[in-house]
Amino acid sequence: MAGGFLPYHEPGIVEILIIVSFFFFLSLARWVSAKIIQAGIIGQIAVGIIYGVPLANILKHNWQETFLALGYVGLILIIFEGGLGTRLDLLKQNFTLSMVGATTGVCFPIALSYLLLFLGFGYGAVETFILGASLSATSLGTTFAVISSASGSVNLSQTRVGSVLVSAAVIDDVVGLVMLSVIGDLGHISGGGVNLGWLIGRPIVASIGMAIVTPIVTKWVFAPLFRKYIEYHFARFDHISNIILMILVLSAFVAIAGFTGTSVLFGAFLAGVFLTYLPSKRPEGPFVVMSREEGEREADKSPTFVHTFEKYLLEPQKYLMEPLFFASIGFAIPFLDLWTGKRIWRGVVYTLLMAFAKCIVGIWIPVWQLAQKGKSHDNQEPCEQQNRQGQPENEENNGITHKELSDHENEDVWHRAWLAAVLLGSAMVARGEIGLLIIEIGHNETPYVSDDGFITGVWAILLNTIIGPVTVGILVRIYAKEIEEGEWGSQDLSPPAASHEMDQAAV
């Protein structure tokens, strides 16, 4: 028996073939499901179900635990990349709308869950709350994966509706993760001697604190120091200095989030946004470059943090970490327990109700546009009356033509607004890892969630994980151009305006 080191043993041929086939089918399943249903993540979840405990259990248990940990690191990288690519000007511009949408996306699933599960199916009040909370989280990881998969048709992250989606998903998930922390602690209440106020308040205070403190210290402390003393030295080392700072910042934010009681995923997103805000946006700034090649070639320029992520981390994330993450979701689905008549119909009914509860978020886009149109109409009406005074009567025909043209343009505007509303509602449908985390903890660590309730919730999460990405993929494939060109599509700012906005935007 050797001590002080791990003895090396050559893996068996069966183990090697299992590993090779697992990663091969992960890639193949993503490609096939992306081609057929426009949602590559569904194929990877299916491979996880087949290779994991739920079905064939081909992978060893310790391998599945390792892949789950690596997949979670992949989830952190997905969200970190989303933070790096976030447009702060659009976040600021649409913050109020995002808050309204996120509030709707949290309250409606919980409220409708009480109507169906508590009043209809007879589940307990706390059990119903846990199930509703699990279906209120949008899932940042799959949100960014859906945005990335749609980038071949339209870059959703650079559109107004995409900005609203990301902001609302962040808020939804922060609330969901706070509820996750609270639900996880509910199992300790029965032991007595527990400060219930602190138990519930700690994750809430930690999340709000990080959300408030991070922009303040970034704007008034770290950004000025970085721009004045540090960023010009980065041009000497290019990617090396960037990757070191990125690892340090990501590790710091994840550690702070974890130890203060909020979610490490929220910390990862804040880390990405923090790094996005740090460099100066002036044309002479070292991080203001047109391409990665320019940053690498010019002596006084440096590649951006996004460029460094793309060079060193994007491919490992895309081809290794991200597939393992979605496969690990498959590991956690009790597939064989789903198939009884009662569980199927209850799960399908709950799925449809929860899909509606999240899709309703999209209604705020036409409502918001109607409110803005009313304000602009009130401002423009006196000017239009002045313009009409003194016009010759023989121009009446031209006025009618102009009115018809205006009506046609108005129809196009509303058509695109409703497309954006359907896209936002579909992309907000609850799915993925956070919902499974909440319901797994509620079932395994508290006495409140029964087996039937757990299976009903898993059905809803599983089907909604399919419904959302498939619907978004179909919408983007068919209506990509209309979505991108509409008022809720790409928002290109002129360089001066963009620079001013980015400097003024809060993180």
Whole-angstrom distance, CA of residue 127 vs CA of residue 443: 9
What confidence tier does 500 reach under pLDDT thresholds 50, 70, 90? very low
Q: What is the pTM of this model?
A: 0.79
CA atoms within 13 A on the CB side of 351: 20
Is the distance from CB of 347 to CB of 338 less than 8 angstroms?
A: yes
Whole-angstrom distance, CA of residue 477 vs CA of residue 506: 33
Q: From residue 452, how far is each of 395, 431, 442 by CA, in Å?
A: 72, 20, 13
Q: Which domains does the chain have, with CATH numbers?
A: 13-375+408-504 (1.20.1530.20)
What confidence tier does 120 reach under pLDDT thresholds 50, 70, 90? very high
Alpha helix locations (H) across 261-363?
A: 264-277, 292-297, 305-312, 314-316, 322-331, 341-359
| 98: its two tokens | 């995002």
What confidence tier does 296 reach under pLDDT thresholds 50, 70, 90? confident
Task: Choose among 357, 306, 469: nearest CA to 132.
Answer: 357
Whole-angstrom distance, CA of residue 64 vs CA of residue 76: 18
pLDDT mean over 124-146: 81
pLDDT for the residue numbered 355? 92
Is the distance from CB of 362 to CB of 98 less than 8 angstroms?
A: no
What confidence tier does 192 reach under pLDDT thresholds 50, 70, 90? low
Contacts of 192 (CB under 8 A, 6+ apart): none
Is the distance from CB of 127 to CB of 454 less than 8 angstroms?
A: no
- Residue 450: how many other CB atoms lie within 10 Å: 13
Whole-angstrom distance, CA of residue 435 vs CA of residue 335: 16
Residue 503, pLDDT > 50, answer no
Q: 313-324: per-residue pLDDT in tens? A: 989 988 999 899
Top pLDDT among 67 and 479 is at: 67
pLDDT mean over 215-226: 91
Residue 496, pLDDT > 50, answer no
Residues in the chain: 507
Whole-angstrom distance, CA of residue 224 vs CA of residue 217: 10
pLDDT for the residue numbered 469? 80
pLDDT for the residue numbered 59? 95
What confidence tier does 201 reach under pLDDT thresholds 50, 70, 90? confident
Q: 81-109: per-residue pLDDT in tens? A: 878 877 777 777 788 888 899 899 999 99
pLDDT for the residue numbered 117? 94
Whole-angstrom distance, CA of residue 155 vs CA of residue 162: 8
